[in-house]
Structure 1
Amino acid sequence: MTVLSYADSALSLLPPVMAILLAIVTRKVLISLGVGILLGTLLLNDFSALDSGRFLLESVISLLWRDGALNSWNLYILGFLILLGMITALITVSGAARAFAIWARNHIRNKRDAKLLTIFLGCVVFIDDYFNSLVVGSVARPLTDRYYVSRAKLAYILDSTAAPVCVISPVSSWGAYIIALIGGILTAHGFADTGHLSLFIQMIPMNFYAIFALLLLFCVAFWGLDIGPMRTHELNAVRGELYDESKGLPPGANVDLPEAESGRVLGLFLPIGVLVLATLYFMLSSGARVLSADGLAFSLIGAFEKTDVSSSLFFGALVGLGATLALVFIQGIAKPSVVKGVTLGARSMLPAIYILLFAWTIAAVIGQLETGKFMASLVTDNIPFALLPALMFVLAGFTAFATGTSWGTFGIMLPIAADMAMGSHTGMMLPMLAAVLAGAVFGDHCSPISDTTILSSTGASCHHIDHVVTQLPYALIVAAISLGGYVVLGFTESVALGLGACSLLFLLSLLWLKLKTR
């Protein structure tokens, strides 16, 4: 029998913190996550070996089979990864990636332009963070490789244009989820007549982390502001080492594939375009079915709120794979090369799948330990209301860092922020909710056990921990900027002054980064 002796206590922080520290120190992600999982399982079961073994077995099985049925969310996401690996490999086999690199040599002038184009693609593909990281990574990798941009830098670009863009876009899976959460919270507090979409739009300029993470990313790409581990990776890339080869092949790598000489750029963009449009269609159609079943009229935001993201990604990738195969066969690629591409493409995603399965397992353990609730309980009533936005930003950041999920942090911290605003100063409601959104994205960016971070490293074909440690300094800089903005916002109750404070701190940070880079 499971005994939740240490749930919702300070010890509930031990498993995620242990896993994260071990991952950073040892660079062995699976072993580190395994240690965190075992420690959390033992804590949940009062160190009973028999109960711990039974609980761990049930947790692993629940990844694929839950409540007497297949765990469709997880299976669709894993299927999407495998299908995207196949598509990427077939694009390589067809010679389309090589053709794109040749095209880029004639049209993209330099390394900086390659990075800026990748940022543009990341901002345009905003319907979902998983989709953004993997699809943009597949398109941009031949381009950034051609100009010797390190895979760590590519992963940073992907991660910083995934969640930060999605969290401020109402027409995305994130935006719809947040609007639904905020709508329920505000209705519960008597704001039923308020337009939830308009409130979400009002909160966009208050999401300091998302705004300044994107601005810093642009500046880093434009001026080459590489510091710490990122500088090492960029210098190695100039010498031709795009990733740390001593650690073996990173997830998503396809180095043993033959490349046809007859490839065309169309062979890259047509499959990806079909994939994007098909995924968007399935997202809207699945959401529309739910709206119709509930007797509600169709709306774009409503469809995204009700959509089934995982199945849409899977079926969209299935259509994309069909389009890729059709182009490959029309091109006349030999069947052995096609079979090799499909096989190695699927196999290239296995490292990412292993990490994701371990991350999901430790997330389930952390959920049972109620780590998020413990983090939320640290909020006290003795703090001046002017500091509450800054406090919510910090707590949401730590919660997302420890749990590896920004969506879970939204679910835990947004109701708490609303309750505190109602109990102290209702005028701070929106700033506090925005601070939670910003903090959750910040914590998600820093956490090695975040699925978004894992998939960004996969999309870039970068070793996971290399992505984490190279992105961390930039995430911390933006967090410090955001924290200063929330302190000013709390004391002045002015969004303009908060943005002004962030802008000043941002300029000072840029000056420091330029001096540090030189």
Structure 2
Amino acid sequence: MTGTIYSLIPPLIMIILVLLTRKVTLSLGVGIIIGALFIHEFNVMDSIQQIWSAFYGIFVAEGGPNMGTFYLLFFLIFLGMLTAFMSASGGTRAFGEWAITKIQTKKGAQLLPFFLGIIIFIDDYFNSLAIGQVARPLTDRHKISRAKLAYLIDSTSAPVAVLSPISSWGAFIIGTIGAIIAEHNLSNFQPLESFVRMIPMNIYAIIAIFLVFLVVIFKLNLGAMRKHEQRAEETGELVDPNRNDIPGELKEEFVQTNSGRIYHLTIPIVVLIISTIAAMVITGRNNVEENATLLTIFENTNVNLSLFIGGLIAVYHSAIFYLIQMQPKTSTFLVLREGIKSMLPAIYILILAWVIGTIIENLGTGDYLALVVERSQLSPSYLPVIVFIVCGIMAFATGTSWGTFGIMLPIVGQIAVNSDVNMLLASLAAVLAGSVFGDHCSPISDTSILSSTGAGSNHIDHVLTQIPYAVIAAIITIIGYVVLGITGMVWITLILSLVLLFATALILNKLTQS
């Protein structure tokens, strides 16, 4: 059943179960079991061994601890501690009270995470988690639902990272493009130049970013998002009161001091940003033997280690600010405990998502979809649109845009070179666009999980409220790639896509206001 059309069944069952039950941990668990049974043709003992192997492989690799996993999980724990100390010290409340006097409208409060998402382009994980800490006090004060905040974060994190050459994503993609160019002896192409030329062809990422802006400006609350926003506005309940599994949400079981200052929040956040970026530069430089450039540094940086270092330093500063306050306050142990507890739902979901990602990889779901593209006799002009759709399905089913990049970029590169090299860059850009689209819609996407965590939103609520916006951007992207394939005119295609987006926003605005 591996590597065939049957390999699509386990992820589809899991996704349907998520949508029906809205219980992500249960659905992931069922998906893991069914996937393992499919791999071993329903041999129970072998399936149990497969599940254990997938779980064990998350923490142990090549005979030693998988430090990347531990670094990321500890960063999540540190982030919970950081949030707890900033809240207990009164910094979060003080920042919210100050910010609401400076940003006095709901639109302004929503534009803050939008612009921060564009500015903080270094890494999607960092973007997803850090922006929530800054924006949440303000969006809470303006009664903006956590699902809306999660959308604002998620739809600017991966799209911005995939467009930036100076990011962990950009460096990885440029390195992969370089390997494709070398393999096919394409002397007319250079990796960095090719990536830059691909930016206007990455239609989905650009449309998704502009759509976020239009959603804020025109107050486009579509589908389930309207329900969340209405509840937040009318009752002040920012999350569904029937949801208990809210990652990143403190239970407020400790007393906030009354002497909190704005710098009790801003300084730890600034320290987090500066120390994380500095660690990324240092670890990247240490991994480059000679002739280090900014690009090679980010290509070789250790993102998870850098997050760990930045998180640890930020927690230290926030703890100091809390401890030096003289007011009666909750014990430090209780604050730490509540901070850790707030991150446990995210950690559980992330680990299960990693396990099922391994199961799906062993099922050969991605390999099967890649084979479909490779064997199809496509007109080169339609290659970008077909690639976009297939990569969207692959990333949706597997929950990983990076995994889709790794599988599909070399395959699509080979198809484009053999059929029409003029479609190479457009086809590679379609891989990136489709991967981000599928990632936005997938309940097992690690970026979406972390965006839910940063926003303090129920994860499935975030996924379901984001899907309508992702589908709108995808439909416009499909039209754009059809036009690009027929005309070959990149900038005309991009302008047309943006015009379509603006027209769609105007129509939806009229419909939602009526």
SS at match of 1:260: coil
Structure 1 counterpart of 2:352 = 358
| Length, aligned pairs only | 510
Structure 2 counterpart of 1:246 = 242
Match 1:332 to one of 326, 336, 345: 326
2:317 counterpart of 1:320: no
> What residue identity is the alignment partner of 1:247?
R
Structure 1 counterpart of 2:287 = 290
Q: Quick one: distance in 1 between partners of 2:232 and 2:496?
A: 36
Structure 1 counterpart of 2:362 = 368
Counterparts of 1:273-312 in structure 2, within 5 Å, are 273-292=270-289, 296-312=290-306
SS at match of 1:307: coil
- Of 506-515 and 189-198, deviating more is 189-198
Counterparts of 1:10-89 in structure 2, within 5 Å, are 10-89=5-84
Give the C-alpha shift of residue 249 in structure 1: 4.8
2:413 counterpart of 1:418: yes
Give the C-alpha shift of residue 336 in structure 1: 3.8
2:255 counterpart of 1:261: no
Give the C-alpha shift of residue 45 in structure 1: 1.1
Indicate the RMSD between aligned Cα atoms, in angstroms.
1.2
Deviations 1:323-378 (A, max 9, x none): 11122223336574332211100111000000001000000001111111111111
Structure 1 counterpart of 2:460 = 465
User: Normalising by the residue count of structure 1, what TM-score does the alignment of the two structures yield?
Assistant: 0.96
Give the C-alpha shift of residue 51 in structure 1: 1.1
Give the gaps of 5 or more residues in structure 2: none
**1:152–1:470: 8 Å Cα contact kept in structure 2?**
yes
Q: Quick one: distance in 1 between partners of 2:352 and 2:30?
A: 10
Residues 100 and 383 of structure 1, relative CA distance in 2, 3 Å threshold: same
Give the C-alpha shift of residue 497 in structure 1: 2.3
SS at match of 2:331: helix
- Please list every run of at least 4 consecutive aligned residues from structure 1 whose deviation after the TM superposition is greater than 4 angstroms: none
Structure 1 counterpart of 2:268 = 271
SS at match of 1:314: helix
Give the C-alpha shift of residue 135 in structure 1: 0.7
Deviations 1:425-452 (A, max 9, x none): 1111110000110010000000001000
**1:352–1:454: 8 Å Cα contact kept in structure 2?**
yes
Structure 2 counterpart of 1:446 = 441
2:161 counterpart of 1:166: yes
Deviations 1:240-262 (A, max 9, x none): 11000111251111132321111
Give the C-alpha shift of residue 16 in structure 1: 1.1
> What residue identity is the alignment partner of 2:219?
G
Structure 1 counterpart of 2:225 = 230
Deviations 1:209-262 (A, max 9, x none): 111101110010112111110000000000211000111251111132321111
Match 1:405 to one of 367, 375, 400: 400
- Of 436-445 and 489-498, deviating more is 489-498
- Percent of aligned pairs with the same residue? 47
Give the C-alpha shift of residue 63 in structure 1: 1.6
Q: Quick one: distance in 2 between partners of 1:156 and 1:400?
A: 18
Q: Quick one: distance in 2 between partners of 1:227 and 1:516?
A: 10
**1:132–1:162: 8 Å Cα contact kept in structure 2?**
yes
**1:93–1:337: 8 Å Cα contact kept in structure 2?**
no
Q: Quick one: distance in 2 between partners of 1:178 and 1:332?
A: 51
Give the gaps of 5 or more residues in structure 1: 1-5
2:340 counterpart of 1:343: no
> What residue identity is the alignment partner of 2:197?
Q
User: Normalising by the residue count of structure 2, what TM-score does the alignment of the two structures yield?
Assistant: 0.97
> What residue identity is the alignment partner of 1:440?
S
> What residue identity is the alignment partner of 1:240?
G
> What residue identity is the alignment partner of 1:255?
K
Give the C-alpha shift of residue 517 in structure 1: 1.2
Give the C-alpha shift of residue 411 in structure 1: 0.6
Q: Quick one: distance in 2 between partners of 1:122 and 1:416?
A: 31
Q: Quick one: distance in 2 between partners of 1:137 and 1:198?
A: 33
Q: Quick one: distance in 1 between partners of 2:445 and 2:10?
A: 15
Structure 2 counterpart of 1:378 = 372
Q: Quick one: distance in 2 between partners of 1:249 and 1:64?
A: 24
Q: Quick one: distance in 2 between partners of 1:80 and 1:18?
A: 32
Match 1:391 to one of 386, 394, 400: 386
